[in-house]
Structure 1
Amino acid sequence: MGDPALSRRGFLTATAAAGLGMTALSGCGGGSDSGSSGTTTVEWWNISTTEPAKSVWAALAKKFEAQNPKVKIKIVQLENDAYKTKMTALTASGKLPDIFHTWGGGVLQQQVDAGLVKDLTAPTKSWADGLLPVAKQPYLLDGKTYGIPFDIGMVGFWYNKALFKKAGISAPPATWSAFLDAVKKLKAAGVTPLALAGKESWTGMYYWAYLAMRTAGIAALKKANDDKDFTGAGFVEAGQHLKDLVALQPFQKGFLGAAYSSPTGQAASVGNAKAAMELMGQWAPSVEADAGKGIGADLGFFPFPAVEGGQGTVTEVFGGGGGHALRADAPQAAVDFLKFFASETTDVELVKKTSVLPVVPAAESALSDANLKLVQAQLKAATGFQLYLDQAYAPAVGQQVNDSVAGLIAGSKSPQDVTQAITKTAKEEQ
């Protein structure tokens, strides 16, 4: 909700962009004010645009305001792609919101390097030390804390058990060849195997990223970024495996124009039992229920399959979580809000109401959903963890990964084209 949560994405219309531009000018990099009323306004940008998170987060802001009468939380919410586009522009302008969503990694590093992000090491140490270590990892840069997590999780396949049974599939596939066989069986049974939001390039990236992890290995992804060279055989092979999947025409009709969380999009296709699977993060069940109807007990989860002959294993997982960072000169009230949001009381509420995985160890007892428990078990057993590529890498490189993979899925790029385009952008970023 990636993420989570992260749910995540859709470009701004011209009108919306203009409106948000006005918000940014009035609030970012100086929106906190202490006027004659003595009230401090804190602007909070997040991507929780779907229910139940949208309402839960708004209620938490009101609760914080009630506890802090001299603080006003101004919420700005954008879907994922729109958010990333806007934040890229704000980073370039040198003006960030008081509190803003972050996935950590290379994007946060760029903002930190530009001197735009507050070092939270000292002001949060008394309470942040108690948070789940793996959840904090993406926000630790050069040994310092620049973000506070509210979620952690991984991407995997969410599937409809009833549709699998209809197609004669007795168990989730554990290998890529078995996965392709499952896709063929679903199609033969008249079931759409996979839902994909082709309009939003991040959704397709998940396939290529996982296939690269399974073929080249998780260490190769870091080395390729360090060396600025993604043309290795394992990465080309990942693209070929994805091309083989696309050749089976597994996605829903009109997928290239489909959004993620719209009523006719990817999540709704699974939530309305019109598609058997989607490759998505731990936030998927809540978005499926919000965008569609949800399929209840028929919903299951399985990790991305192993690729025969590959360097990676199924215990190496891909994903991340959501966190909050602060602009460099954010007021103390913003730090106080992060502490409030990372408290056991708040985390229990988030776990119970929004299906996030706990970042406060004491909140783990609030986790009741069987599938989310399975995700958590996979995370705990993980032998390797790869952050979302569009966040782990520099922004331009991450965007190129998304766009090139989208081109491969649409049929306009070859597996070699994808690796060459990413490599070219990586070298340009040196």
Structure 2
Amino acid sequence: MRDSVRFSRRSVLGLAAAASAGAVLAGCSGDEGGSGSSKKIRWWHIANTDPMMSEWAKMARQFEATHPGVKFEITPLENEAFKTKLTTVVQAGDPPDIFHTWGGGVLAQQADAGMVKDISAEIGTWRDTLIPNALDAYTIEGKTYASAVDTGMVGFWYNKELFERAGVSEPPASWADYLEAVRKLKATSVTPIALAGKEKWPGHYYWAYLAMRIGGLEALRQAAVDKDFNKPDFVAAGARLAELVALQPFQTGYLAAGYATADGQAATVGNGKAAMELMGQWAPMVQRDNSAGKKGLGDRLGFFAFPAVDGGKGKITDVFGGGGGYAVGKDAPPEAVEFLKFIAQPENARIEAKTAGVLPVVKAAGDAVTDPNLKLVGDTLSRSTGFQLYLDQAYAPAVGQQVNDSVAELLAGKSSPEQVVKAVSTAAKQG
């Protein structure tokens, strides 16, 4: 959901409190050649809650019905549990036949290890049905290793009513104005920001965006190439974040808070107990599903882009985020790729857009987006001048994890801006 999820960035589909590792088995025996044997397709995804978990299972059964001999073994997993378990099986040389991916450096590492298939030729049969640049995060050195299913960006979701009470008449467009809005919210005894400190990935959004606004997109990309983040602009990003932390803007107990839990980040905003959160396009749905009565904020919810930083090299129209896609494991049968084409059909893409509250990458499915907040995200994306994938996916896994860990320590007051860039640079050089 963001993500990450992570989503979730991280994709909204997998952001929930409890992991669901149960398998959904469906299918019939016999193959297309009539030999009576079956082809098992192991599919791991992060839609571990209904309604989308059931919708994916339904699509698998529909595919089985038209492909005799194919039988799906589906494993839905929560975001972080998925990443941990996937790492284990990939290192063992046994990746699932189809599995969720955010692309970037993680997928590149899997491709380098020969764990995923190059599906460039096959995806060419439906590439033109996708929005421009939909496959960029999944294409490495000219070869495509996954098909995209949704897209989006991270921004601030805020409670219009709480902002109005605090005298914040419009969303802040500069970092200085943002800090002032936080002060005004605190002055009215409102918790300004909800944060899932326990899960770390939501915190890295702040540092990443500040690095983008101060140093610019190219600086982040070049740092990965040079394996050196020890630059003044990145130290400044940490310093700006430390300014925010000094205002004590987060809810009580944020360091131990989860994201999609009964008392987590999304619920805190959805129940009106915090004025905003920095999260991806899935936020409204997760807020609703984890709020009292599953109502969320409704018309009180608004969205604004991450503010600009005075003197920074980045543009406020440069966005940060990502979507979800599916990679195909090295030993997967041809039907696994056929299934990716099947779920990319407009009628199936519309189901995901309506059910999961995501922005589809299939052009013809755009009409399924009716939620005004999601439309606003889509409009912001359409006007963007640059795009940066989640850092914990764009970079090699060890580097991305270090970003998450180091920023979490900064948020907890246990690390300095200088120590953050030093630790990330060390991880990059060791990788």
- Does 200-209 or 371-380 show the bigger shift? 371-380
Query: What do the CA deviations read for 1:104-150 (whole angstroms, capped 9, x no partner)?
Result: 11100000001110111112211123211222110111111110000
Q: Confirm or deny: 8 A CA contact 1:46 1:77 kept in the other structure.
A: yes
Identical amino acids, percent of aligned pairs: 57
The equivalent of 2:355 in structure 1 is: 353
Aligned length: 415
The equivalent of 1:282 in structure 2 is: 281
Identify which of 277, 296, 299 aligns with 2:298: 296
Cα deviation for residue 167 of structure 1 reads 1.3
1:80-159 alignment to 2 at 5 Å? 80-159=79-158
The equivalent of 1:315 in structure 2 is: 317
**Distance between the aligned counterparts of 2:72 and 2:47, measured in 1?**
15
**Distance between the aligned counterparts of 1:81 and 1:353, measured in 2?**
22
Cα deviation for residue 54 of structure 1 reads 2.6
Query: What do the CA deviations read for 1:17-70 (whole angstroms, capped 9, x no partner)?
Result: xx78xx8xxxxxxxx997985332211111122444333323333333344353
The equivalent of 1:414 in structure 2 is: 416
Is the counterpart of residue 214 in structure 1 residue 216 in structure 2? no
- Does 355-364 or 36-45 show the bigger shift? 36-45
SS of the residue 2:192 aligns to: coil
**Distance between the aligned counterparts of 1:166 and 1:327, measured in 2?**
52
**Distance between the aligned counterparts of 2:281 and 2:30, measured in 1?**
37
Cα deviation for residue 2 of structure 1 reads 2.7
The equivalent of 1:257 in structure 2 is: 256
Cα deviation for residue 91 of structure 1 reads 2.1
The one-letter amino acid of 1:2's match is R
**Distance between the aligned counterparts of 1:275 and 1:62, measured in 2?**
42
**Distance between the aligned counterparts of 1:363 and 1:51, measured in 2?**
21
Q: Confirm or deny: 8 A CA contact 1:50 1:287 kept in the other structure.
A: no
Alpha-carbon distance change, 54 to 189 in structure 1, aligned in 2, over 3 angstroms: farther
SS of the residue 1:135 aligns to: coil
The one-letter amino acid of 1:375's match is V
Q: Confirm or deny: 8 A CA contact 2:30 2:69 kept in the other structure.
A: no
**Distance between the aligned counterparts of 1:275 and 1:51, measured in 2?**
26
**Distance between the aligned counterparts of 1:201 and 1:137, measured in 2?**
26
**Distance between the aligned counterparts of 1:66 and 1:205, measured in 2?**
43
Q: Give the TM-score of the pair, scaled to structure 1.
A: 0.92
**Distance between the aligned counterparts of 1:362 and 1:234, measured in 2?**
41
The equivalent of 1:329 in structure 2 is: 331
Q: Confirm or deny: 8 A CA contact 1:51 1:286 kept in the other structure.
A: no
**Distance between the aligned counterparts of 1:50 and 1:408, measured in 2?**
32
The one-letter amino acid of 2:430's match is E
**Distance between the aligned counterparts of 1:50 and 1:304, measured in 2?**
29
Q: Which runs of 5+ in 2 are unaligned?
A: 24-28
**Distance between the aligned counterparts of 1:12 and 1:403, measured in 2?**
22
SS of the residue 1:185 aligns to: helix
SS of the residue 2:193 aligns to: coil
Q: Confirm or deny: 8 A CA contact 1:12 1:82 kept in the other structure.
A: no
**Distance between the aligned counterparts of 1:354 and 1:399, measured in 2?**
27
Q: Confirm or deny: 8 A CA contact 1:2 1:282 kept in the other structure.
A: no
Alpha-carbon distance change, 383 to 252 in structure 1, aligned in 2, over 3 angstroms: same
**Distance between the aligned counterparts of 2:56 and 2:303, measured in 1?**
26
**Distance between the aligned counterparts of 1:9 and 1:372, measured in 2?**
17
Cα deviation for residue 403 of structure 1 reads 0.4
Cα deviation for residue 272 of structure 1 reads 1.4
**Distance between the aligned counterparts of 1:237 and 1:182, measured in 2?**
21
Identify which of 364, 370, 384 aligns with 2:372: 370
Query: What do the CA deviations read for 1:288-314 (whole angstroms, capped 9, x no partner)?
Result: 111223111111111100011111111
**Distance between the aligned counterparts of 1:33 and 1:222, measured in 2?**
49
The one-letter amino acid of 2:128's match is D
The one-letter amino acid of 1:291's match is N
**Distance between the aligned counterparts of 2:250 and 2:50, measured in 1?**
25
**Distance between the aligned counterparts of 1:61 and 1:178, measured in 2?**
49
The one-letter amino acid of 1:319's match is G
The one-letter amino acid of 2:187's match is A
Indicate the RMSD between aligned Cα atoms, in angstroms. 2.1
SS of the residue 2:167 aligns to: coil
The one-letter amino acid of 1:98's match is D
Q: Confirm or deny: 8 A CA contact 2:155 2:304 kept in the other structure.
A: yes
Query: What do the CA deviations read for 1:316-335 (whole angstroms, capped 9, x no partner)?
Result: 00011100000012012211
The equivalent of 2:26 in structure 1 is: none
SS of the residue 2:286 aligns to: helix
SS of the residue 2:42 aligns to: strand
**Distance between the aligned counterparts of 2:316 and 2:165, measured in 1?**
26
**Distance between the aligned counterparts of 2:275 and 2:35, measured in 1?**
57
The one-letter amino acid of 2:260's match is S
The one-letter amino acid of 1:49's match is N
**Distance between the aligned counterparts of 1:81 and 1:420, measured in 2?**
25
Q: Which runs of 5+ in 1 are unaligned?
A: 24-31
The equivalent of 1:305 in structure 2 is: 307
- Does 56-65 or 321-330 show the bigger shift? 56-65
SS of the residue 1:252 aligns to: coil
The equivalent of 2:389 in structure 1 is: 387
Alpha-carbon distance change, 11 to 288 in structure 1, aligned in 2, over 3 angstroms: closer
Alpha-carbon distance change, 166 to 52 in structure 1, aligned in 2, over 3 angstroms: farther
Cα deviation for residue 267 of structure 1 reads 0.9
Q: Give the TM-score of the pair, scaled to structure 2.
A: 0.92
SS of the residue 1:230 aligns to: coil
Is the counterpart of residue 193 in structure 1 residue 192 in structure 2? yes
Q: Confirm or deny: 8 A CA contact 2:17 2:258 kept in the other structure.
A: no
